[in-house]
């Protein structure tokens, strides 16, 4: 909700065109379902059953999925040096997060949480490749805003059914600040910047920057 509202405010300030072509809506519905609703659910539940460190290592797989999907779906070239860079980055994440014992990291996934995070990496790669196609029809801001609103609509029913309204009325100030950061920073701005980057660079180049996230 914070993410959708933030993007609507940004679009209003920038006087961005709100009208989304009818032909783009099927892709936006899928993007909102995968990139917002499903991705947030997978990661939120996954983090309750695994550690941040294990999550960080698994997220390092996203650039590999993204590069492969972009190659097969979008026809992006995978030069040898790019493949080497992806593999070196992945190896670096493994060494960093396993404290120099790669065999420990390679035992993943070991928990249900690991499996959910692993599923979210494939899901995000699909969302990224789909985003490249959407950006051929729309600018990043209306595309991100529409996908975020779709995600909000899909998240509201299960959240309300689970009693989210009563829980939110009882949260502490620190929790409210955390939700604001997640909603405005990690949802609105991060999603918008991700789409903006995809409009300016190749899929594998943008996805490879996720190697910084485990740090």
The model's pTM? 0.86
pLDDT of residue 183: 94
Angle between helix 52-59 and helix 80-97 axes, rounded to 10 deg: 170
Instruction: Encode pLDDT of 156-189 as tens digits.
Output: 999 888 888 888 888 899 999 999 999 999 999 9
Q: Which residues of 183-204 are buried (b: 16+ CB within 10 A; e: fewer)?
A: bbeebbbebbebbbbbbeebbb
Identify the pLDDT of residue 99.
64
What does the pLDDT read at residue 156?
A: 92
55, 72, 64, 166: which is closest to 117 by C-alpha? 55
> In the prediction, which pLDDT does 1 show?
92
In 3D space, the residue among 114, 94, 92, 90 whose CA is nearest the CA of residue 103 turns out to be: 94
pLDDT at 108: 57
Mean pLDDT of the chain: 87
CA distances for 157 relative to 102, 145, 164, angstroms: 42, 20, 10
3-state SS class at 107: coil
Q: What residues of the chain score a pLDDT lower than 50?
A: none
Contact (CB, 8 A) for 37 and 155: yes
């Amino acid at each position: 909700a914070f993410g959708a509202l933030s993007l609507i405010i940004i679009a209003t300030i920038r006087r961005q065109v709100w009208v989304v072509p009818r032909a783009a809506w099927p892709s936006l519905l899928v993007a909102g379902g995968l990139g917002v609703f499903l991705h947030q659910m997978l990661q939120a539940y996954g983090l309750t059953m695994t550690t941040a460190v294990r999550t960080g290592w698994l997220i390092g797989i996203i650039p590999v999925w993204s590069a492969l999907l972009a190659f097969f779906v979008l026809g992006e070239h995978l030069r040898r040096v790019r493949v080497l860079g992806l593999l070196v980055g992945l190896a670096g994440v493994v060494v960093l997060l396993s404290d120099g014992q790669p065999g420990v990291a390679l035992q993943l996934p070991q928990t249900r949480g690991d499996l959910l995070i692993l599923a979210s990496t494939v899901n995000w790669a699909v969302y990224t490749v789909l985003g490249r196609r959407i950006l051929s029809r729309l600018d990043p801001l209306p595309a991100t805003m529409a996908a975020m609103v779709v995600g909000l609509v899909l998240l509201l029913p299960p959240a309300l059914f689970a009693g989210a309204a009563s829980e939110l009325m009882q949260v502490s100030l620190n929790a409210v600040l955390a939700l604001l950061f997640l909603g405005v920073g990690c949802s609105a701005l991060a999603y918008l910047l991700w789409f903006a980057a995809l409009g300016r660079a190749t899929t594998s180049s943008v996805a490879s920057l996720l190697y910084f996230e485990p740090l």
